[in-house]
Structure 1
């Protein structure tokens, strides 16, 4: 039987219902607005704009004008993306006290032109500087599968909104894993896009070197639709992946120090890919270990650049900010500028070498995150536990940012505690379409082993 709850439909499903005349954007938008309010998922609900956009979409459909597959689709935007008339808070009290944005960020303008409906701005780690998702100012939403566990960050609210039926899809940012970690932790699809492919102008920056914007969605097809609009492309179907894939699963870094439950799920998923006739090469790649060592040696791009951008704000308003964010950024003060330059040169050299070595492969395949989502209370109470968990959560994903190409995570299954595990495909820069094609193939293959993340909403009742 077809669902009677429009908030359970995917982007593609909503589009089909609109074009069949069984739903219209206004009733769907109202259904979503009835489910959301400002809190630990949405910092701000933009009901007036959402209703205007939905009415405009209804008029287009009535007139036979089709703006494309996002027309009338309710989205959540991470609270570091400017939307006209709204304050962009980036999870930080000093910025929440700032003036409203004068115009939409380019990515928001593109989504608006594609007919999307903006439900509001979602909560996030302060300044996007953590993969855990904790924010002491706005509150931290619980994981969609266990509210006692972290949502993943920094795009925490965006992922929880999608996983719990409070947005059809969402936009996040990814500087060290901030789209992929919360997507993986909540059984969603998340795409870290190729560096600079989607403009980050009009967004609160953590690192201009490695900041990217990307979609968080329920399916790969939905992620493809959002990616196309964000990149300013004409809508078209996602091409099929090659018949036989050539994948590299180097044990170096990506398969080290895995939680046993994660390891079992990923091994099973990769085994299913092999059984389907795809080639998996498990040859080590020492270059990844060199890349992995860069941040401990020189400091991270995010820390260097956040210090340069926010040092005055931290000095003036640090007492009002998350002490863990402030401390980690200010710790970079003692590093010389030569560390930043050497980091840049080493990253460029190693990135080139990795992609040169991988020319014979379609993509890397790897666990999205090494561990399941940690327990929230353990990390709130203990700074050392937080720092250790944050480092472990970010280790796999950060390499994707240093490599510069697209990385997409898809649900691979559940660990013995019923927590989601993600599988990622990392392709060469500008091969975003290929990465998504491979991910959709894996989604089809693994789908029988992964339940619908929207089937239950632990945030209700």
Structure 2
């Protein structure tokens, strides 16, 4: 845990639990000596995002206005599960305010630099989470993903990020950006660690290790069309290079489209967005009477939901449920969709200082990953083999088939990164 006291940790963590982590690590060592392990996370160093309740600490969710709240009386349910599984919870990680942007900026707590280039943004909203892993201050980070907040920082910073199907992991005790779209998932340096965390977070009873899916038992469909528009050439080239490598290893890959699902989502977007509407309820429940003191960039997005009528919100929900069912029904047997996680790599922090540039970059980076949230599918981002700044390859699986998607991801990871998985 010595790295957690390094200068890089100052903007990655909002709280460090040195004393309790030391006790948890010592207890894990004693269990290991007796052969009494609690499971795949026993003794592993885990960070948790600042939107999770941790008993005795204030759940600030990246916002100065929430720091005046009383400390949490008990741990969030996922934190309870981590501790019960023997995880060593090392601290709470920085995040964008209310988890309401994809770039990783925060005027209240500071911005951790991208671990591959400190001048660039790490991605968000789980920005400190990814830095805690890539800078080796934690082995696994637990974040939230409402529109890509786990997968985006993973893609932009060179890690693996997994978003489960909604309801697979409990959200009780976590600040809610969107009750409709919020999910909780891990960031790690490999798929196996993400799968181990998911096993504990979801309460799965399986104790078996993750076995990569055999080639020939799944096939990939490239989601051609609008989600490839405005891709940086380097991202496109890295993606196509990965596809060629997978084909050479015998993976069945075909071109396809999810344009019908995109049209269904566009009909919802023309009415409004769930986070803009639903975060207002969260803030009111916390006793926030006004938006004073909130970052203007965040405030603008919250205010966008104030004019949505109740009848339109109900219509949005109905349209989304129909879109989810239609997309679920469209999956062929053992099909997984594949596309770039984000069309661009991490922008320079200096390039997003102006409001117009910030919102343009934010919308572009959110564009691809938010599809899995809107359609309630499990999704994972894997690093693409690429010199220079990282980019991600995203897999989208059928709803509620999370474990199978992790098996497919493990297989693809081994083919793209054979030396790391030898």
TM superposition score normalised by structure 2:
0.95
Aligned to 1:92: 63
Q: Does the 8 Å contact 1:311/1:330 carry over to 2?
A: no
Change (3 A) 1:294 1:419: farther
Aligned to 1:280: 253
1:385 match: secondary structure: helix
Aligned to 2:237: 264
Q: Distance in 1 between matches of 2:37 and 2:223?
A: 45
1:364 match: secondary structure: strand
1:61 paired to 2:36:
no
Give how far 1:348 is off: 1.4
1:164 paired to 2:135:
yes
1:378 paired to 2:348:
no
Q: Distance in 2 between matches of 1:208 and 1:98?
A: 21
Aligned to 1:422: 392
Change (3 A) 1:449 1:325: farther
> Following TM superposition, where does structure 1 have runs of at least 4 consecutive aligned residues deviating by more than 6 angstroms?
312-315
Correspondence for 1:103 among 74, 97, 100: 74
Give how far 1:411 is off: 0.7
Counting only pairs closer than 5 Å after superposition, residues 387-398 of structure 1 correspond to structure 2 as 387-398=359-370
Q: Does the 8 Å contact 1:247/1:281 carry over to 2?
A: yes
Aligned to 2:219: 246
After TM superposition, the structure 1 stretch with the greater mean CA deviation from structure 2, 302-311 or 193-202, is 302-311
**C-alpha offsets along residues 76-125 of structure 1, whole Å, 9 cap, x if unaligned?**
10001111111111001121221111111111111101101111000000
After TM superposition, the structure 1 stretch with the greater mean CA deviation from structure 2, 252-261 or 401-410, is 252-261
Q: Distance in 2 between matches of 1:400 and 1:133?
A: 20
Q: Does the 8 Å contact 1:67/1:115 carry over to 2?
A: yes
Give how far 1:34 is off: 4.2
1:174 paired to 2:139:
no
Correspondence for 1:436 among 406, 412, 418: 406
Give how far 1:31 is off: 3.2
Q: Does the 8 Å contact 1:411/1:450 carry over to 2?
A: no
The number of residues matched between the two structures is: 419
Gap runs ≥5 in structure 1? 1-29, 452-461
1:350 paired to 2:323:
yes
Give how far 1:252 is off: 2.8
Q: Does the 8 Å contact 1:190/1:408 carry over to 2?
A: yes
Aligned to 2:228: 255
1:199 paired to 2:198:
no
Q: Distance in 1 between matches of 2:24 and 2:107?
A: 32
Q: Does the 8 Å contact 1:253/1:292 carry over to 2?
A: no
Q: Distance in 1 between matches of 2:165 and 2:286?
A: 30
TM superposition score normalised by structure 1:
0.87
Q: Does the 8 Å contact 1:291/1:350 carry over to 2?
A: yes
Q: Does the 8 Å contact 1:291/1:399 carry over to 2?
A: no
Change (3 A) 1:34 1:289: closer
**C-alpha offsets along residues 165-220 of structure 1, whole Å, 9 cap, x if unaligned?**
11111000000000000001111010001101100000000011110000000011
Q: Does the 8 Å contact 2:214/2:411 carry over to 1?
A: no
Q: Does the 8 Å contact 1:87/1:99 carry over to 2?
A: yes
After TM superposition, the structure 1 stretch with the greater mean CA deviation from structure 2, 265-274 or 154-163, is 265-274
Q: Distance in 1 between matches of 2:301 and 2:268?
A: 13
Give how far 1:314 is off: 9.6
Aligned to 1:406: 378
Change (3 A) 1:327 1:163: same
Q: Distance in 1 between matches of 2:91 and 2:264?
A: 37
